[in-house]
Structure 1
Amino acid sequence: MTIIALLCLAPALAQNARAQSQAPKASAAAEDRVRSATMLFYDAFNSALRGDLDPLSAVWSHRPDVSNLSAAGGRAAGWNEVHADFQNMVRLYPGGRIAPRDIIVITDGDMGYSVCTETGQLRSAEGPMVSFNQRATNIFRREDGKWKMIHHHADAGSTGSQGPTR
């Protein structure tokens, strides 16, 4: 009787195993794309610190529901405000470098996010370098087949150090 029951369950178990083995591959591919989009954001951020905002504009969605909560304070909502926020940041910190560490990526359908620690140095408008180590969350949405940033939030949080301030 046990053997018959196992034989009856075998097709269902095999189908379930196939479905489970295929799901992580699709998820892994999306996670790789969101990880790449995360790295593109930080490359674009560094370009902005050198005065070129075009790459930053390219990685962000330009829809009205985007937002930015920077470690410098304030809240920008909508693409125009987010872009103005980055223009202001470049004015306040004309130089430096930022890099993500310990990136964790999660995806589900057309949405994904990364959390990481941002570390680096920014040159303040007065001249001295400001070091920082802060936590960050980056949220992405797939738009026309590309992962676009729709939200960025950075703060000093529990990293034990202050983020750059205005």
Structure 2
Amino acid sequence: MKPFSRSLLPLLLVAFGAVPARADDKADVLAANTQVEEAFSKLDVKAIEATWAQDGSVSVIHPASKAPILGWEAVQKSYADHPVRYKDFSVAMDNPQVTINGDVAWIVGIEKVNAHRANGDVLDISALATNIFEKRGGKWLLVHHHASRMP
């Protein structure tokens, strides 16, 4: 039996739907994740909205969520009061790990959240987080965010 030819690998990947990501997709996904963090850190609702796909397929699970929040209207509503609830807000993911499969990418890491609530309470937590992006119209958009407080 002949050894497997490396020149056939790209054809097999395409045939089975596992198209390798472009070299700059990882950088683009990381940039999209940074845009999400910056929008939240600025408490800029319009900037937050611009990072999301806005349809019924999106979902979010916040650290304090009791159930998944499904669909754009519900996700949007879950963020709409951030500027009222917080005087300042900072979120950043340590050591984000990116995986890309075609037009879907996910990032996992530990989010550090520091904030001052309008009532004066301080929020300083670490959360295990997953952000899932989908490439739509050439842009990586958030379709799911999940953050769970670390024990």
TM-score > 0.5, shorter chain as reference: yes
Which residue in 2 is equivalent to 1:86?
A: 79
Q: Distance in 2 between matches of 1:17 and 1:69?
A: 38
TM-score norm. by structure 2 comes to: 0.83
Contact persistence 2:21–2:100 (CA under 8 A): no
Q: Is the 8 A contact 2:20 2:101 kept in 1?
A: no
Higher helix share: 1
Please give the TM-score of this superposition, normalised by the length of structure 1. 0.76
State how 1:6-155 maps to structure 2 within 5 Å.
13=5, 15-16=7-8, 26-48=21-43, 52-74=44-66, 75-155=68-148
> CA separation in 1, counterparts of 2:83 and 2:59?
18
Distance change (3 Å), C-alpha of 1:18 and 1:147: closer
CA shift in 2, pair 1:92/1:14, >3 Å: closer
Structure 1 position 25, deviation (Å): 7.5
Q: Which has the higher strand share?
A: 2
Measured in 1, the distance between the counterparts of 2:36 and 2:113 equals 15
Q: Deviations over 1:16-62 (max 9, x none)?
A: 47879xx99744422221111111111111122xxx21111111011
Q: Which runs of 5+ in 1 are unaligned?
A: 161-166
Residue 163 of structure 1: aligned partner: none
- The letter for the 2-side match of 1:65 is S
| Aligned residue type for 2:148 | D
> Take 2:20 and 2:64, find their aligned partners in 1: how far apart are those partners?
38
Question: Percent identical across equivalent pairs?
Answer: 26
Following superposition, the deviation at residue 91 of structure 1 comes to: 2.9
What RMSD in Å do the two structures reach over aligned CA positions?
A: 2.5
Number of residue pairs aligned between Structure 1 and Structure 2: 145
Instruction: List alignment gaps of at least 5 residues for structure 2.
Output: 13-17
- Asked which structure has the greater CA Rg, the reply is 1
| Deviation (angstroms), 1:72 | 2.1
